[in-house]
Structure 1
């Protein structure tokens, strides 16, 4: 029984959102105009027009946007240094209560010197791609992230030739990636992830030789991954995960070895062997090849990935032997659901001082859990060892992890007193089904979100709880709701 979302690898989008939030704070604290100057009338009208298109502003994000006041001091408005002219508009939903609802008014076209539009995490900003952006000759940065924009990306998007960044991630855009996007040769970041885009990747993206960040994840793109990566000399982040790509990993990806830090191709239909050249990516932080159809062995060259922090090869067709790696500090590892017979949890995993997620489901592990002696358990959030032949007790491991969120170990041979488990404040998920666990179900389980202790040797009356009967069936003598009532002797 899988009780958690499959991905715990580092999310690059989150990293960049944090950067933007820090920039927002900087914009608010930095003076940008001469004392005594007033707002340019046309630009004030443009900004107030935007405010009038907002139907709901529950947090008062735009409450200081008042006619006749200095618009360069308004929330999210940055003016050119020592000037009254608006340079950037930066509005971000940092918390659920800062969500704006409404549309992006075309009156923003009055901000003729605008070089950056940042509308991020506002969630309920709707409407099509704002075509007024084509009327802003200085525009270099478009961040329309995690809103509710929809429709097609305009076919003439390539006319915005001064763009340095185009980020439309986290909206509801449909249709193909416009071929004219390949005219945006100044781009350093192209982020179109988490929309509903279809079709294939335009070959002309190879012309965007300045890219450092290319993400198309979370769409419905198909076909093979283009073999055009030799054009990119500075690419650091490549994310094509959660699409319908098929075929092999293209050979030209090998040219990215010197600088690439994130390679995420998970949740596609890619096949063939994992290329040996991936072992040369010594700058790699994150490698996600999960939920594909890769077969054969993991290349022995992976021992060279000494700096990798997040490795996810789960849910493929990979076979033994798994290489001995020389990782100094793995943060998250998922090798689940292949045809590995690891025997034990690798020593390079146990020696990591910073690991927070360990998932080794159905990995052929046959050991006593007490023999897993991690050098540090403090940071563990998730541990999933389901479907192995692990014996012994989970008490020492679980009780030593203050920040543990979930522990899954169904289908093993664990044998210990359930009542001796101690759950920290963050602990939410526990699955010990199909083991040899004994004792009573303690009152402390009632604070969990999900629980499964079915098919063990538990006995006694259940504490009052919210869980279904399926969480407790198959034990020796458990009774009480949601199971039948206990016999009154």
Structure 2
């Protein structure tokens, strides 16, 4: 294989053009995909684009799919479509790609409907991203059957209803994004069973109730619960000996005494604005060297510890004083 051809093969994206797929062969070395995968891919792509015509029977060698097959088994392990002008629903035939480990539909505004039950056949699936689509209905409980999932991103859709507690069964899960939907109800208590270091994003929904007490058992790496209608105490998220990097609980209805909180030294970002949090800002927070901080629109009092943030981080509190605010401490 020439150097030029090698460079071309390496540069081809996982994403594909449905127009090019029907007409352009790849210059890369053929891998001879499995007949079952050929049949499934043909059905999937025809469902999304009725004008699709397979260029040949070697689906591992179709333009945009060169890196999707396992070199040893010649089975399709990756499927990704993003930023294309397609419409319809996620084809149920996606479940027939039985060796799939990576599945992504992203930035497809005309992709509607729900997550097909056939996805439960993908027992090897590790990465699931269905984001910036127009999927609706509830997030299905059956996602909890995909025991090898490590990454789930269902953000920027129209999902409604409650968060399925079955997701807590995914013992390998490291990343969960359900933000920017229309989810209601409370956060499942079982989410306190997640492994330490998980990324959890539930922001921009309509969640209510309190944070599960079980969250005190999890050392989140990043957690974002902002822009919901959550109430009560959120202090269990702050673990002095933990490794949490980012906490965003802004624009909720939380009420707790911040002066009783001790912060992990790892904390780099903290946003608690627009809540009902009282007490003072602990001086210990200045030792943490937080890079991004916002405590505005709360009920805080007392002297502001030495931190390098402007007044916007502190405005609209009950009685905070000292620089950068004009109010002097008595």
Instruction: Tell me if both proteins adopt one fold, taking TM over 0.5 as the criterion.
Output: yes
Aligned to 1:76: 7
What RMSD over aligned residues (CA atoms) do the two structures have, in Å?
3.4
> If the length of structure 1 is used for normalisation, what is the TM-score?
0.53
Aligned to 1:409: 314
Task: Give unpaired runs (5+ residues) of structure 2.
Answer: 14-18, 34-48, 67-73
Aligned to 1:113: 30
* Cα distance change, pair 251–104 in 1 and its aligned pair in 2 (3 A): same
* Cα distance change, pair 135–388 in 1 and its aligned pair in 2 (3 A): same
The answer to whether the Cα contact below 8 Å between 1:115 and 1:141 also exists between their aligned partners in 2 is no
Q: 1:267-346, aligned counterparts within 5 Å?
A: 267-306=180-219, 308-322=220-234, 324-325=236-237, 327=239, 328-344=242-258
Task: Tell me how far apart the structure 1 counterparts of residues 108 and 230 of structure 2 sit (CA, whole Å).
Answer: 31
Task: Tell me how far apart the structure 2 counterparts of residues 356 and 313 of structure 1 sit (CA, whole Å).
Answer: 17
The answer to whether the Cα contact below 8 Å between 2:177 and 2:200 also exists between their aligned partners in 1 is yes
Q: Does 1:396 align with 2:306?
A: yes
Aligned to 1:385: 295
The answer to whether the Cα contact below 8 Å between 1:222 and 1:244 also exists between their aligned partners in 2 is yes
Task: Tell me how far apart the structure 2 counterparts of residues 169 and 224 of structure 1 sit (CA, whole Å).
Answer: 23
Task: Tell me how far apart the structure 2 counterparts of residues 259 and 339 of structure 1 sit (CA, whole Å).
Answer: 32
Aligned to 2:36: none
| Count of matched residue pairs | 295
Q: Does 1:221 align with 2:135?
A: yes
Measured after TM superposition, the shift of residue 346 of structure 1 is 6.2
The answer to whether the Cα contact below 8 Å between 1:222 and 1:246 also exists between their aligned partners in 2 is yes
Kindly name which structure, 1 or 2, has the bigger radius of gyration based on alpha carbons: 1
The answer to whether the Cα contact below 8 Å between 1:261 and 1:285 also exists between their aligned partners in 2 is yes
Aligned to 1:359: 271
Q: Does 1:90 align with 2:11?
A: yes
Measured after TM superposition, the shift of residue 133 of structure 1 is 6.5
> If the length of structure 2 is used for normalisation, what is the TM-score?
0.76
The answer to whether the Cα contact below 8 Å between 2:196 and 2:221 also exists between their aligned partners in 1 is no
Task: Give unpaired runs (5+ residues) of structure 1.
Answer: 1-38, 40-70, 78-87, 93-102, 117-127, 145-160, 419-434, 439-489
Tell me the secondary structure at the aligned position of residue 138 of structure 1.
Answer: helix
Which of structures 1 and 2 has the larger relative contact order (alpha carbons within 8 angstroms, sep 6+)?
Answer: 2
* Cα distance change, pair 325–89 in 1 and its aligned pair in 2 (3 A): closer
Tell me the secondary structure at the aligned position of residue 287 of structure 2.
Answer: coil
Tell me the secondary structure at the aligned position of residue 10 of structure 2.
Answer: strand
